[in-house]
A = this chain, B = another copy of it.
Amino acid sequence: MILIGERINGMFKEVKQAIADKNKGVIQELARRQTEAGANYLDVNVGTAASDQEGAMQWLVETIQQSCSTTLCLDSQKPNVIEAGLKVADPNNGIMLNSTPVNKKTDEEVFDKYLEMAQNAGPKSCLIALTMDKNGIPQDVDTRVALAAEIVQKVMEKGFDTPRIFIDPILLPVNVPNAQAQAGNILSALDQINYLSDPPPHITLGLSNISQGASERSLINRIFLAMAISHGLDSAIVDVFDHELMNVVATSEMLMNKQIYSDSFIKAYFSAR
């Protein structure tokens, strides 16, 4: 399971404040602790509050890199903010870009722009692509899979290996009216996305979205994560500080035969990471 730590995000108060105060300690502590907790990537999102988003992204990247070499996942819907981060990112660490929707005729440049940035960022770079387009986020299974197929086709045409693409079928909160079927639809989409290419693309989800504004947040996150792993999810953007969630990751990997059972399988899983 490829885990992307979600905590360095300007949406969180302490991060927003640290960016405003240029408080390196807070950010470096989050980077170090998420890495220790099992994060393979660290998401880096300046949030919407920073007036100079490009500057904030560069400061975050430089600050994190001074304390650890965990691969960063530059997270912005604005290509110029991603580009600013790429300028200061250490190419030896690898990089992930997060994220682009599928382009349609009139805004072809969005997807192409992100793919081009990923391709120029070195041979280990990865890109998260969302199954959404100008029509928004699809509610049904077929449109999600069709958009995923479009993503796979586009990256194959550009010579970008499919395992370097992370398809995100986009989780909506369970409390959104008229979206009650979406959790099941996402699972059905996962079943199919795994067969789009050989080797298949990775699949990722912003897990915490599903419980946004809901009660029992950790429980909902945990149960849906177990379900999704059993349908082929192999990556997620998560709160790696949620200890119970991490136990779910280890247990799911063992049950899906990614790790042999031993009496200390949870400890063994995290030791091996």
Contact = CB atoms under 8 A, between A and B. Distances in A.
Interface string A162-183: 0000000000001100001101
B215 A264 contact: yes
Interface stretch (A31-39, A151-159, A247-255): A247-255
Nearest to A186: B255
Given A223-B226, A226-B223, A226-B226, A184 B215 contact: no
A36 to B, nearest CB: 22
A248 B265 CA distance: 22
B263 A223 contact: no
Interface residues of A, number: 33
B230 A255 contact: no
Contacts of A254: 174
B256 A184 contact: yes
Number of copies: 2
Given A223-B248, A255-B183, A261 B174 contact: yes
A88 interface: no
Contact of A216 (B219, B227, B230, B251): B251
A120 interface: no
A205 interface: no
A214 interface: yes
B220 A183 contact: no
Contacts of A24: none
A227 B255 contact: yes
B181 A257 contact: yes
A251 B220 contact: yes
A174 B255 contact: yes
A220 B264 CA distance: 13
A266 interface: yes
Among the interface residues A223, A248, A251, which one has the most CB atoms of the partner chain B within 10 A?
A223
Nearest 7 Cβ contacts at the A-B interface: A227-B230, A226-B226, A183-B255, A215-B263, A223-B251, A174-B261, A223-B226
